[in-house]
Amino acid sequence: MFVGARKPSTGTSSCAEYVSASWRCAVSFQALPRQAGETMNSDPIADLLARLRNAALARHEHARIPASRLKVAVAELLKAEGYVTDVHREEVGPKKEPTLTITLKYGNDRKCAFLGLRRVSRPGRRVYLGHDSIPRVLSGLGVSILSTSQGVMTDKEARRRKIGGELICEVW
């Protein structure tokens, strides 16, 4: 071969074979351990709010949500503020998974008790507030839910106790 002469490049050249062999991944991907219908959830509070919003839009009587202590605390606050009728925790299914059943509240005109739900502090952007900077939702007609060092509470309770915390969501 002449110096400086080029060979035609093809997809099966030895260089391409070398590169593809060196770039092969040594890790094999296994099937996910989840079953069909199970959700992969990175933000459980956003999932709770979305399920409540969807159940209200579809005019369902109940919303069933995988339970956790934080979700139960938020749901109990929604019940105390009058946005939902009932909250109870139960074991459902063959694996006895803890499930939170929330009974939605509707008016005589079949409108839901809450008009909107909004997640404020997210996994990608946490929002922490002092007691003096907790915002009022719709000039006090709505409620903010905070996670504080003394538990999950409403904005009114946090202001009264002069406690700041993470602003989880707003409901109106």
pLDDT tens digits for range 71-113: 999 999 999 999 999 999 999 888 889 999 999 999 999 999 9
Question: pLDDT value at position 70?
Answer: 96
- The Cα–Cα gap between 152 and 166 comes to 9
- Between 7 and 58, where is the model more confident? 58
pLDDT band at 34 (very low <50, low <70, confident <90, very high): low
For the beta carbon of residue 108, count every other beta carbon within 10 angstroms: 5
- Top-level CATH class of 115-172? alpha beta
Torsion, CA 16, CA 20, CA 23, CA 25, rounded to 10: 180
Topology agreement, domain 50-113 and domain 115-172:
no
Please say whether the beta carbons of 138 and 160 come within 8 A. Answer: no
Please say whether the beta carbons of 49 and 55 come within 8 A. Answer: no
The fold of 50-113 is Ribosomal Protein S8; Chain: A, domain 1 (3.30.1370)
This prediction has a pTM of 0.76
DSSP 2: -
Domain boundaries, the chain: 50-113, 115-172
